[in-house]
Amino acid sequence: MLKISGLSKVYPTGTSALKNVSFTVEEPNVVTIIGPSGAGKSTLIRCINRLVEPTSGTIVLDDVDILALNRRDLRRVRRRIGMIFQEYNLVERLTVMENLLSGRLGYVGFWRTYRRVFPPEDVAAAFALLERVGLSGYQSTRADALSGGERQRVGISRALMQEPDLLLVDEPTASLDPKTSRQIMRILVE
Ligand code: ADP
Ligand code: MG
């Protein structure tokens, strides 16, 4: 369960992006936040994994007080929170498989990742996810050679490699055409 209470964010510029936001998400569930540009949607989503530090309020994920965590514990909790962005955030020069396996970074450790040594079960999980999002056979394709819809499907697969308890998704279809958008939303809901 995710419980947000009295969440506020004032940026150093003085912009008040969130004012006293409270809501609870029971699991399993898909919750959509709708609002005009500048309403504070991205700020809200980013507060949940503390990419943005809230000014006040509390965020509790399964009894863990997110805002009270030190850096080390925050890193551990972030492994349970997947994130998917509008702009994909893939490593352009790496292959689809390498991008997916980098989703395991929090588990595998920097040096093993750097040397590109991955456990066989992670590689098997990556192949299974690629099949699930309709990208079988794309493992060796470089990210910069993919279409927008394909990139976002890699982004989704990479986030799922973490086996997250919570998936934060910020305007995942903003740069996609309507048909591809529906396909991406269907995969996300699934
Ligand atoms: P949305 O995602 O709904 O479009 P945002 O969360 O990006 O909204 O922005 C909410 C408000 O906070 C806007 O007024 C925006 O200009 C402001 N804002 C967002 N990020 C920053 C930042 N890093 N520094 C200062 N102001 C920001
Ligand atoms: Mg936004």
* Nearest ligand atom owner, CA of 86: 2
If we measure between CA atoms, which residue out of 80, 121, 137, 126 comes closest to residue 102?
126
Ion ligand 2: residues, CB within 5 A, are 41-42
If we measure between CA atoms, which residue out of 100, 81, 87 comes closest to residue 173?
87
The number of C-alpha atoms within 13 Å of 153 and in the hemisphere containing its C-beta is: 25
The yes-or-no verdict on residue 107 having pLDDT over 70 is no
Read off the pLDDT of residues 1-30 as tens digits, 9 standing for 90 and up.
999 999 999 999 999 999 999 999 997 889
Distance 121 CA to ligand 2 centre (A): 35
If we measure between CA atoms, which residue out of 185, 109, 114, 184 comes closest to residue 153?
184
Read off the pLDDT of residues 118-133 as tens digits, 9 standing for 90 and up.
788 889 999 999 998 8
Burial (CB count within 10 angstroms: exposed 0-12, middle 13-18, buried 19+), residue 47:
buried
C-alpha span between 102 and 107 (Å, rounded): 10
Output 98 or 43, whichever has higher pLDDT: 43
Give percent of the chain with pLDDT exceeding 70: 93
The yes-or-no verdict on residue 111 having pLDDT over 70 is no
Read off the pLDDT of residues 38-87 as tens digits, 9 standing for 90 and up.
999 999 999 999 999 999 999 999 999 999 999 999 988 998 899 888 77
pTM, entire model: 0.86
Is residue 167 within 8 A of residue 123, CB to CB? The reply is: no
Atom 22 (ligand 1): residue with closest C-alpha? 11
Distance 52 CA to ligand 1 centre (A): 11
Residues in a beta bridge with 8: 56
Atom 5 (ligand 1): residue with closest C-alpha? 40
